[in-house]
Structure formats: structure tokens, C-alpha cells
Amino acid sequence: MRGRSMVRGYKRLAGAAVSLAVAGTLAAASLVTGAGPAAAAPPVADRGEYLVFYGAGAQAEALSAVKAGGGVAAAVEAKLGYIIARGPRTGFAEALGASPAVVGVTDNRRIGAATAVAAGAGPLTAPLSPAAAEGASAADVSAANASAANPSTVGKAVKAEPLAGRQWDMRMIGATPSGSYAVNRANKKVTVGIIDTGVDGRHPDIAPNFNRALSRNFVTDHPKDPNGKTLDGPCEVKSCKDPADVDDDGHGTHVASTIGSPINGIGVAGVAPDVSLVNIRAGTDSGFFFLKPVLDALTYAGDAGIDVVNMSFFVDPWTFNCTNNPADSKADRLQQAGIVTGVQRALDYARARGVTLISALGNGSTDLGDPTTDKESPGYPLGKERERTIDNSCVNVPAESRGVISVSALGPSKRKAWYSDYGTEQTDLSAPGGDPSDAGTSLKGATREILAAAPTHVLRREKLINAAGKPAGGSVVRECHHGHCSYYQYLSGTSMASPHAAGVAAILVARFGRPGKGGLTLSPSRVEQLLYATATPVSCPASGSTTYSVSEETHTCAGPAAKNGFYGHGLVNAYRAATAKG
């Protein structure tokens, strides 16, 4: 697997375990601990920026370690237990790692110039977490959900959407007019956060369910990497920070559509067609998922009262994070420890506040219970990958993090997709993700993949539609009404599988949730129990393995139908979720 977002047959996505700092220096700021103003940060030229994760109760000791190492503490994020510090570019992480108070050090390096900003742009004047700066108050959350409220459509007749015939994935899980749509589906009091590359909130098949009031973007686009290689390309807006209803990649829009495209007589319908879709952007235009935006997105999800989040990505730059691998330098091990620690803290924070966490399992075609080689890390800077030996102590984040429900991908014949990662410990559920190589079906080519909404400007940029708006090939479908057209794209990946599980989770929250912060709430542990209970058990192949001719690999499935390495607790089932008696 190379892509940062979990998708196959799409452009190659890479990333780094850092968030992006805008051009200029980090201004002096008061620490949130009340310790007084921090010293002015040294010039960017000879200093790097770091996220320093400290142990429980060890904030003061960690601050002392930063100072002793020649660094300056710019801010403290007490919610997740880390310091934003500036220090020497050489040796600083290793010096901090010698302190027992420090459990991880991740570089938060500046990776590119913001070309849409005039030369000599001013400093970053708000160094504290964007989650705090942009976080919605309880009143904001309540008002946003109240304005979007829509009663459940229990028992109402439902007409199939125009492109429903192409949605083999929805038929596989019972999300159809005669299935879950006709019985019970999530309503707009249930919020699903899409932590991804953004969501095209103006797409005709997303707009009715798009919650603009709660949506946030925690990412600043950067045109190039430090070596001058194209990263995000030219900024579309002066600030290089896109509005919260924009997706310049397409990945997040596809995910959002699978979760909750409405039943509106246009295009397709999602698993939960009345859900409230919230863009919580943590991925750049080029598909990088940096650590700091991911931390901010998860923290915001908890503070805003989001019910379910979908995470179709892994945190860069390491496909597998090894905290004690002799193949890595001390600084690399500290960086990976920072990723594992920081993301786990953010996941715990969100889950403790009622957020059910759904993740794509990964596209590495790997048994995650027995990994041996990582050829894709570090994925940043571009072209720095190297082959290293790994073992089961190395983890994919967030798919293998605690409290996360991880989803494998299936093709239209219900065969595990050849690219999908798997593992008896790691696979919790399975869902349709698409597989162009799945010959066990009458479908051909792209139609074996998942069809969902796509931003028009992205398709035009990628030359998938021409100047007149006509699709250039079979991977894109145009659907028009009264002179207005919308577009849909076939994609495959575990990125496409996990949104099906997120949609089913939303149905369960709608059915069994109680009034909570601005809407309905159901504990993540209860949602998890119900997801497993309503899934359709699927046994391993009779031979115990499946040979994939595309990659000439043999993947071995282990475990009973109730829980195995290919299907987990089973195939998610929207109809069973909509009719379960709890």
C-alpha cells in the first residue's frame, strides 16, 4: 500500500507525520498552563517545530527537558498531553528522548511555501490547538443540529434513486428501497464526521445533508515539499486554507456520499440517507494526513458531540509505526512513538465523549498480525521510502489503535478484496469496497467498484471529464436533471468499505440513541456491540485461503464464521441494523 487514504485505482497519495505551519515564525504566546509568556521563538531557518508528548503528570518535567535541550515551549495542548516546541533541527529529539518525562517527539516541520500568500507574510499568531480556536460551543452545536433536524422516515415508501442499479454494494448490505430505507434510517439528529480530504458540500447529492455549521477544516494547503516537488499545487484561496465545504481531492466526497447521499431523485443514495454529514478535514489536497490536523480533528469531534467518525486514512509518514525497531534511528523511533501515543490519546478523548470510531483497515494486501516488511515508509519527504524489517509490534495508525472498529474490503462476490489488509486480531467488520479483479461476478471493469459522488472540478482537472462535461471513460458517470448535471466516480479500497460501516453505525445511533448534546447519543461500546450483533457472519473460504492472481499472493483466512481474519464479526448489514430489537 502506498496511498495515505485507503483507496485503490486512484492517484497515489503520500504524507508526513507532521502538520503544516504557515510561512513565517511562530509568535510568542502564553502557555495554557498559566506559566507566563513563552520566549520569542528563534528564527525558522535554524530551528524546527516539534510535538513533544509527555507522560501522565509530567508536564513540568517535559517543559524543563525542552529548555535543557536548547528549545522553547510555544504552547501546551493539555487535553492530549503535548507541548508545541521549537528547538535545534539536529539532536533535539534525541535530547528530549533522554528524559523519562517524554514519551514521543514528532517533528512538526514546515513543508512548503504558501504561494498564494504575499512574500513576507506575517507570523502565525495563534499557536494553540485549532480545535480550541475553531471549536463549536455547546450552543453552536445545539443550534446547528436543531436547524437540520428531520424526523425519521419509518414506514414510508421509497423510490429507488436513478443510479441505484449500479449500487451492488448497497444491495449487498440491505440498504435498498425495500430494505433499510423503507424501515428506518438515520436522521439529521445523528452526525457523522468525515475526517478526510474535505467534502464537496455543494454537490447536489450531498448538499441536502451537509452540515455546514459544524464543518471545520484543520489543514493549510502547501504547493510544494521542501525539495520543490509538487505537493498540493497552487492554493485556491489567499489563505491557502480552503472553506469547510471544499474537497480538491475527491476522496472525502466519495466517502461522504457512501455514508449519506440523500434520497432526492438524484444519483445515488447512501447507507444512511438522512444523516447529517460533517466535514472534519484533516487531509491535504494531495492526500497527506499529518499528525497535528488528525489530533485536532479528533479532539473537535469529541468537543462538538459528533456521533460517528469515519477515518479512511493512516497517519503519515509511517505505514507501520515501530517504537523500538533497531532498523530505525533514535529520532525515527521517537517520532513513531509520538504518532502512536498522540493519536491514541486523541481517539480516547473522542471516544470518551461519545464518538464511535470507524477506520479503513488498509490496502497493503498484508496480514497485519504477521507483517514482515515495510517498503513504503517514511512516506515523506517524497521519495524517502526505504525497505525495513518489521514485526507485529509495529502498528498501522489508526486502524490498529485501541477503541477503533476496523473494516476490511470485499468485492461484489463477497470475496475479500485482493488489496485489503486482514488479520484475526485486526479485522472487526467487513463491507463492500470494490475489487476490479473479482471474477466471481458478472460485473465488468469499473462496475466492480463503488460508485459515489465526485466533485466536478476534480474530475475536470484529472481529465476524467472533458470541457463539455462528458465522461472520458467508464470510471465516471454523469446524471442530469433539468439541465443540471452531477457526477459520480467508481473507486475501490478499504476507504470505500469503512463508510458503509459508518452509515450502519449512524442507523444504530438513530434507533437506540438518547437525546444528548444537540441531538442523539449512544455510547461507542454499545454501538460496537450492535454493529457486531447485526452483521452477517461469513465463513472463511473452504480451503482456508484465497489466491489472488493479480498480485500472485495467497492470503490465509483463520478463525470461525463468528470472527475471522477476512470478515471479522461479519459483513455489515443495514437492514438488520434498521430492524434489530436492541
Query: Which residues are the active-site residues?
Result: 196, 251, 495
Strand partners, 547: 554
Picking from 134, 294, 306, the residue whose alpha carbon sits closest to that of residue 211 is: 306
Picking from 197, 210, 290, the residue whose alpha carbon sits closest to that of residue 249 is: 197
Whether the CB-CB separation of 120 and 106 falls below 8 Å is answered with no
* Residue 430, phi then psi, degrees to nearest 5: -130, 160
Whether the CB-CB separation of 456 and 465 falls below 8 Å is answered with yes
Tell me how far CA of residue 180 lies from CA of 158, 274, 309, 331, in angstroms: 10, 12, 21, 51
Task: Give the β-pairing of 82-88 and 72-77.
Answer: antiparallel
Tell me how far apart the alpha carbons of residues 5 and 269 are, in angstroms, rounded to a whole number: 23
Report residue 43 as a C-alpha cell.
528564527
The helix-helix angle for 291-304 and 330-352 (nearest 10°) equals 10
Tell me how far apart the alpha carbons of residues 532 and 50 are, in angstroms, rounded to a whole number: 40
Tell me how far apart the alpha carbons of residues 561 and 580 are, in angstroms, rounded to a whole number: 20
Report residue 431 as a C-alpha cell.
463491507
Chain length of the chain = 582
Strand partners, 53: 82, 104
Q: What is the DSSP string of 177-245?
A: TTTHHHH----TTSEEEEESS---TTSTTTGGGB-TTT-EE-----SB-TTS-BSS-S-SSTTS---TT
What is the per-residue burial (b if ≥16 Cβ within 10 Å, else e) of 202-233? ebbbbbbbbbbbbbbbbbbbbbbbeeeeebbe
**Residue ranges of E strands in 8-90:** 47-54, 72-77, 82-88
Report residue 268 as a C-alpha cell.
445515488
Q: What radius of gyration do the chain's Cα atoms show? A: 23
Whether the CB-CB separation of 223 and 231 falls below 8 Å is answered with yes
Angle at 46 between CA 101 and CA 336, to 5 degrees: 40
Sign (positive or negative) of CA dihedral 397, 565, 527, 184: positive
Tell me how far apart the alpha carbons of residues 43 and 564 are, in angstroms, rounded to a whole number: 53
* Residue 458, phi then psi, degrees to nearest 5: -70, -45
Tell me how far apart the alpha carbons of residues 270 and 500 are, in angstroms, rounded to a whole number: 8
Task: Give the β-pairing of 216-217 and 276-281.
Answer: parallel
